[in-house]
């Protein structure tokens, strides 16, 4: 099993082959992070296709901010794809620890809790980055190159899917963390993040369907 991946260094075909293999990593967590990174890349593309265009000059501040967020988020998500694979490898190793004696069982349980927390925190970070991306996508819709508006909708849908995929990984690992406070805080944050993601995705779809520009953001 690969425990020190750098998926950003692979070709798309190479990553796809690894994802399709019988190995447990990369899996859904890394795939969600990669999908989120692609959403960020699309947002960056639309930002670049919009800046320095006279027709969209009134939205220059929005373009600049969106590009900055997109570049930061897409790179962060590539790293999180690697982190997710490492977290799962650590969790899998913990579950394979010996448990013949009480001491071994206690050590296995402790290692599982630590690994499960990491395997929850990483996809939670993925969901956060996807929420950052989709917020900027929503701000760009109707304030950017209308010829690339469908790319914004694709970005929104990718980010939303990636956030929900990451959330699924958080939820499946939380029960094994053994920390009620962390569990409750993570569930509450996820609920708020996903609510916002779904709302923004719907707003982007409406803006793209309208095909018109809107007012610049208020400074």
Is-contact 151 46, C-beta < 8 A? yes
CA angle, corner 186, sides to 166 and 167, nearest 5? 15
Tell me the CATH architecture of domain 26-210: Up-down Bundle (1.20)
Q: Check residue 219 and give its pLDDT.
A: 75
In the chain, where the domains are located: 26-210
Which tokens hold the place of 164?
């929900």
Structural tokens at position 100: 């013949």
Other Cβ atoms within 10 Å of 1 Cβ, number: 11
3-state secondary structure the chain: CCCCCCHHHCCHHHHHHHHHCCCCCCCHHHHHHHHHHHHHHHHHHHHHHHCCCHHHHHHHHHHHHHHHHHHHHHHHHHHHHHHHHHHHHHHHHHHCCCCCCHHHHHHHHHHHHHHHHHHHHHHHHHHHHHHHHHHHHHHHCCCCCHHHHHHHHHHHHHHHHHHHHHHHHHHHHHHHCCCHHHHHHHHHHHHHHHHHHHHHHHHHHHHHHHCCCCCCCCC
78: closest CA among 124, 109, 120, 41?
41
Chain position carrying tokens 């960056």: 44
d(CA 169, CA 83): 13
Q: Which residues fall within 8 angstroms of residue 64, CB to CB, at 6 or more apart? A: 47, 51
Q: How far apart are CA 127 and CA 34, in angstroms?
A: 12
- Distance of alpha carbon 58 from alpha carbon 189, whole angstroms: 34
**Structure confidence at residue 49 (pLDDT):** 98
State the pTM of this model.
0.95
160 within 8 A of 134, measured Cβ to Cβ: yes
Q: What is the pLDDT along the chain (219 residues), one digit of tens a residue?
A: 444 669 999 999 999 999 999 998 999 999 999 999 999 999 999 999 999 999 999 999 999 999 999 999 999 999 999 999 999 999 999 999 999 999 999 999 999 999 999 999 999 999 999 999 999 999 999 999 999 999 999 999 999 999 999 999 999 999 999 999 999 999 999 999 999 999 999 999 999 999 999 999 987
pLDDT for position 2: 44
């Amino acid at each position: 099993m690969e425990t020190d991946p750098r998926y950003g260094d692979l070709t798309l075909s190479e990553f796809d082959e690894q994802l399709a293999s019988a190995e447990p990593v990369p899996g859904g967590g890394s795939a969600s992070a990669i999908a989120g990174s692609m959403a960020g890349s699309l947002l960056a593309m639309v930002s670049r296709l919009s800046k320095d265009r006279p027709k969209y000059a009134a939205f220059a501040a929005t373009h600049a901010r969106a590009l900055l967020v997109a570049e930061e988020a897409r790179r962060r998500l590539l790293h999180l794809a690697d982190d997710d694979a490492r977290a799962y490898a650590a969790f899998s190793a913990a579950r394979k620890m010996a448990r013949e004696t009480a001491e071994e069982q206690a050590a296995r349980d402790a290692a599982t809790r630590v690994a499960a927390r990491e395997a929850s925190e990483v996809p939670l970070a993925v969901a956060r980055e996807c929420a950052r991306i989709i917020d900027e996508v929503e701000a760009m819709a109707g304030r950017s190159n209308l010829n690339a508006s469908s790319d914004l909708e694709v970005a929104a849908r990718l980010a939303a899917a990636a956030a929900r995929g990451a959330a699924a990984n958080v939820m499946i690992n939380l029960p094994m963390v053994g920390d009620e406070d962390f569990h409750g805080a993570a569930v509450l944050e996820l609920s708020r993040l996903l609510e916002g993601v779904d709302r923004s995705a719907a707003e982007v779809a409406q803006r793209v369907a309208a095909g018109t520009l809107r007012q610049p953001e208020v400074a």
